[in-house]
Amino acid sequence: MTQLALVIDLNVCVGCHACVTSCKEWNTSGSAGPLADTMPYGKDPSGAFFNRVQTFEVGEFPDTQTVHFPKSCLHCEDPPCVPVCPTGASYKRKEDGIVLVDYDKCIGCKYCSWACPYGARELDPVRKVMTKCTLCVDRIYDRTRPEAERKPACVLACPTSARLFGDIHDPQSQVSQAIRDNAGYALMPEWGTHPANHYLPRRRTSARIHEDELTRADNPLKVDGLLPRPPKSDPSLDDVMSW
């Protein structure tokens, strides 16, 4: 069984929102119709996004860390949003574990958004149907694209490669290894949703510096000592140049 997922490295994310804009760009121009905004250039802009990057401050000044936190549907392995849907518009695909909404069936009752503890679902303000991250299902299987481009738009856009994409049920995949090696974890484990997306924690980056490393031991100037200052009586450039 395949379970496609994103693994997001909080140690690397710089909060540039490139994934947010590329996600919006890809998903607003797809065959499913625009991912609508209301008053995008007005006073109170609003709209549906599949992916948001939030910023949190952890710790007490001066010992603080700024954590940029990208958040999208986690494609839970046991998604609470799916069984509550009265129409069957929300479903989880057997073949790859992606949780999707059938926009043609959805009646916009918003019940699934209540049933998602992560707030990953957003009602499209114009189409009035529920929308959420599709893991770019219309892109990752597109055989007209070169293999390297068959990834979600956000993964390709990330300038720091903070986003990894793959099958977390395959122990040899890049994402599984990243989760194993870097203590990847799931959000709100207390509700038993078993999110497929994982996050990699901040890691301490430190170097040990010894006292003797602060000054260069093999400095050639040190070895030879300073060059002696020439005595005043030595000929100067002036003496050579004047007749």
Partner 1 sequence: MRPDYSVLLLTTLIGAGQGLFLALFTVQLFALAGQLPAPGSHAFYVHGSLLVLALLAGGLVASFFHLGRPERAWRAAAMWRTSWLSREVIVLPALMGTVLLFGAAHLAGFRPTLFTLPSGLAIDSTLVLGTLGAMLAFALFLCTAMIYACLPFLREWSSPLTVANFTLLGGASGFTLAAAFSAWAAPEATRYIAGWAFALTLLAAVSRVATLLRNARLRPRSTPQTALGIKHPRIVQRSAGFLGGSFNTREFFHGSPERRVSAVRSAFLLLAFAAPLALLALGGPRGAAPVLTAAFLVQFAGLVAERWHFFAQARHPQNLYYQDTR
Considering only residues 13 to 52 of the shown chain, the ones binding partner 1 according to CB under 8 A are 17, 20, 44-49, 52
Q: Does 24 bind ligand SF4 (CB under 6 A)?
A: no
Q: Does 111 bind ligand SF4 (CB under 6 A)?
A: yes
Please report, to the nearest 10 degrees, the dihedral formed by the alpha carbons of residues 95, 180, 140, 145 taken in order. -140
Binding-site member from 18, 23, 85, 179 for partner 1 (CB under 8 A): 85
Considering only residues 58 to 77 of the shown chain, the ones binding partner 1 according to CB under 8 A are 58-60, 66-67, 69, 71
Binding-site member from 28, 113, 177, 182 for partner 1 (CB under 8 A): 113
Binding-site member from 14, 78, 105, 138 for partner 1 (CB under 8 A): 105
Six-digit token string for 191: 């509700």
By CB under 8 A, how many residues form the interface with partner 1?
Answer: 61
Name which of 195, 203, 205 is nearest 7 in CA terms.
195
For 197, residues 6+ apart whose C-beta sits below 8 A from its C-beta are 5, 6, 7, 8, 72, 73, 74, 75, 186, 187
Considering only residues 178 to 197 of the shown chain, the ones binding ligand SF4 according to CB under 6 A are 193
Q: Contact at 8 Å (CB) between 200 and 8?
A: yes
17-25, 44-52, 101-109, 177-185 -> range binding ligand SF4 (CB under 6 A): 101-109
Q: Does 23 bind ligand SF4 (CB under 6 A)?
A: no
Smaller CB separation from ligand SF4, 39 or 107: 107
Considering only residues 122 to 161 of the shown chain, the ones binding ligand SF4 according to CB under 6 A are 130, 132
Q: Contact at 8 Å (CB) between 35 and 131?
A: yes
Rounded to an integer, what distance in angstroms lies between the CA atom of residue 151 and that of residue 228? 66
Q: Does 32 bind ligand SF4 (CB under 6 A)?
A: no
Q: If contact means CB under 5 to 8 A according to the sort of partner, which of partner 1, ligand SF4, none does residue 50 touch? A: none
Q: Does 49 bind ligand SF4 (CB under 6 A)?
A: no
Rounded to an integer, what distance in angstroms lies between the CA atom of residue 203 and that of residue 56? 16
Rounded to an integer, what distance in angstroms lies between the CA atom of residue 153 and that of residue 142? 13
Q: If contact means CB under 5 to 8 A according to the sort of partner, which of ligand SF4, partner 1, none does residue 74 touch? A: ligand SF4
Six-digit token string for 182: 């870097």
**Shortest approach of partner 1 to residue 175 CB, angstroms?**
16
Name which of 28, 30, 22 is nearest 53 in CA terms.
22
Question: What is the C-alpha radius of gyration for the chain, rounded to an integer number of angstroms?
Answer: 28
Q: Binding residues for ligand SF4, per CB under 6 A?
A: 73-76, 79-81, 85-87, 89-90, 99, 101, 106-112, 116, 118, 120-121, 130, 132, 193
